[in-house]
A and B are shown apart, each in its own frame.
Chain A
């Protein structure tokens, strides 16, 4: 499909194109990726404007609507407390995307900082830091997240009701976010290892480049070399790599909420809706169907877009 459009889409001017623009061009020619992006855009818009889009309250339902099937007033039916499914799904998109994006961002910041320091300072520092990463790789991530979540939830959320200071502040933040804050923290603290390895590797190769040597020769301070010369060259590929990880972070949130260690009810996370609906699945399948579809479609869109982005940035590996 790419070949067919190649002629018509090609720009004829002789102006050199930047790598980014070139990649964008390839991405736009990939129909599956564009479709994924479009679906994602709709989901993002729904999540951002949930307050205007969602027709009903997500916390209050009518008892006579318990388990109600689809109807004119509730197009997707109602859940076990008579709450409108569609509205809860729309707000659920907010939770999923936030977990994906902020979880990825937290892991990104930790991983990039760690990898940058290890790669730039090298020697013993590098050795110790990377051995630590190697060790943590053998820690089953899901188990570590569960342990961390239990630690956070019971040290800060439940018992720390009226505490002041640092603990109280954290617990208040988490409560205000419906239990989201600790999910971000839990995901971020456990998922930065790959990023640290990637960044360290890139720093090692950038560090040997002539322009870094030139900067050092004219006496540029190390901190400035690190931030002005090394970091910008590492950032691009790191961002792409991390963006491809977002579906994984969305999954962690759904898993955690499913086993009861994620968001606090009544916050409508798709994972939590699945576990709530699961109990009544035999007689009311729509309670499970919609959240299952919502999370699958979102991940599907992310993966298609992600594949397209990877192919666009690395045309040698194009598989279509």
Chain B
């Protein structure tokens, strides 16, 4: 197990290398520079600015310098916001995105999985059919359609919750719901399917034959084994929820990293683009590692070596 974790951590190195190199090359191949404005800057000033941010160095050197800084957790200065470093910007925006993402993920898992269990236990009843139709709706309505609907109902008509922006816990509810609905429904559907499959296994029949109580059979024998396919999508779910906040932050005007990312690309704010992409990638790798570890914990038959 320890060896497995170590190997996976070493694997991060080539991944980060490729992701960073690809991002670096792509963003530098986009025409325009951070100093392209409606009114061109005087040539001398532009030259000085470029010198200050080392934009005249050969690309490989810029890349090397950036990565050397990245390893030491120094993400460099922001080019678009001269007075701030990327570290300061990230420290301000990441917590927002992470909070939103975490709340959405908890919504999805804590509502979706029980819904799936309930549907499976009450298979082919009204409860099952109606929750599966709701889950089907949930995977079909995209956030850009759901967000406006929720705002219209809960903020504009009922006036229960704020329309947009960020600040109090009440501000989190609508964007987190918007962000979580897709995976809430996927969790419900997969949990149900997986529960139904496990229920046909012989050890479930045995448990019932032994006279184990139905609730214990469902939760202890069936659910624990049914959870494995569910964890498989937990990693991608977290990644998708985080990157999905890119769009949801636009809808709700939330000052998180996703909204900032799109602006940074428009501004050609190279250090911000690099840092954001790399942190996203690192988080995804980390979540996938967590998923793999939780497999082993859930299913002692799975061994890594």
> Residues of A at under 8 Å CB distance from B?
131-132, 134-136, 138-144, 146-148, 150-151, 154-155, 159, 247, 251, 254-255, 258-259, 271, 274-275, 278, 281-282, 285, 288, 291-293, 295-296, 299-300, 302-304, 317, 319
Contacts and interface: CB of A to CB of B under 8 A. Distances in A.
Contacts of B276: 143
Nearest to A278: B148
A141 B18 contact: no
A146 B23 contact: no
B265 A147 contact: yes
A258 B280 contact: no
B197 to A, nearest CB: 8
Interface string B141-164: 110111011011000100000000
Given A155-B30, A319-B193, A288 B23 contact: no
Contacts of A254: 142, 144
A271 B243 contact: no
Contacts of B251: 278
Contact of A296 (B29, B140, B247): B140
Contact of B27 (A139, A147, A281): A147
Q: Interface centre among A255, A282, A291, by most B CB within 10 Å?
A: A255
Contacts of B15: 134-135, 138
A140 B30 contact: no
29 contacts: A135-B18, A138-B281, A138-B284, A139-B22, A139-B281, A142-B243, A142-B244, A143-B246, A143-B261, A143-B277, A146-B265, A147-B26, A150-B27, A150-B266, A247-B140, A258-B144, A259-B262, A271-B144, A275-B144, A278-B148, A278-B251, A281-B148, A291-B145, A295-B142, A296-B137, A296-B140, A299-B140, A302-B140, A303-B136
Contacts of B193: 317, 319
B243 A155 contact: no
Nearest to A250: B142
Given A155-B31, A159-B31, A303 B262 contact: no
Interface in B238-274: 239, 242-244, 246-247, 250-251, 261-262, 265-266, 273
Given A147-B23, A278-B148, A292-B148, A140 B141 contact: no
A296 B30 contact: no
A143 B243 contact: yes
A139 B285 CA distance: 9
Contact of A139 (B19, B145, B156, B197): B19
A317 B192 CA distance: 12
A304 B281 CA distance: 33
A300 B136 contact: yes
Contacts of B281: 138-140
Contacts of A146: 246, 261-262, 265
Contacts of A143: 243, 246, 261, 276-277, 280
Contacts of A282: 156
Given A143-B280, A147-B265, A259-B250, A285 B142 contact: no
Contacts of A275: 144
Interface in B104-163: 136-137, 139-142, 144-146, 148-149, 151-152, 156
B196 interface: yes
Contacts of B22: 139, 144
B14 interface: yes
A304 B140 CA distance: 10
B64 interface: no
A288 to B, nearest CB: 5
B24 to A, nearest CB: 10
Contacts of A274: 144-145, 148
A258 B258 CA distance: 14
A142 B246 contact: yes
B95 interface: no
Nearest to B11: A134
Q: Interface centre among B26, B140, B192, B193, by most A CB within 10 Å?
A: B140
B32 interface: yes
Contact of B239 (A140, A251, A271, A300): A140
Contacts of B156: 281-282
Contacts of B244: 142
Nearest to B266: A150
Nearest to A282: B156
B300 to A, nearest CB: 26
A162 B273 CA distance: 30
Contact of A155 (B29, B146, B285): B29
Nearest to A139: B19
Closest 4 CB pairs of A and B: A292-B145, A300-B140, A299-B140, A142-B243
Interface string B208-229: 0000000000000000000000
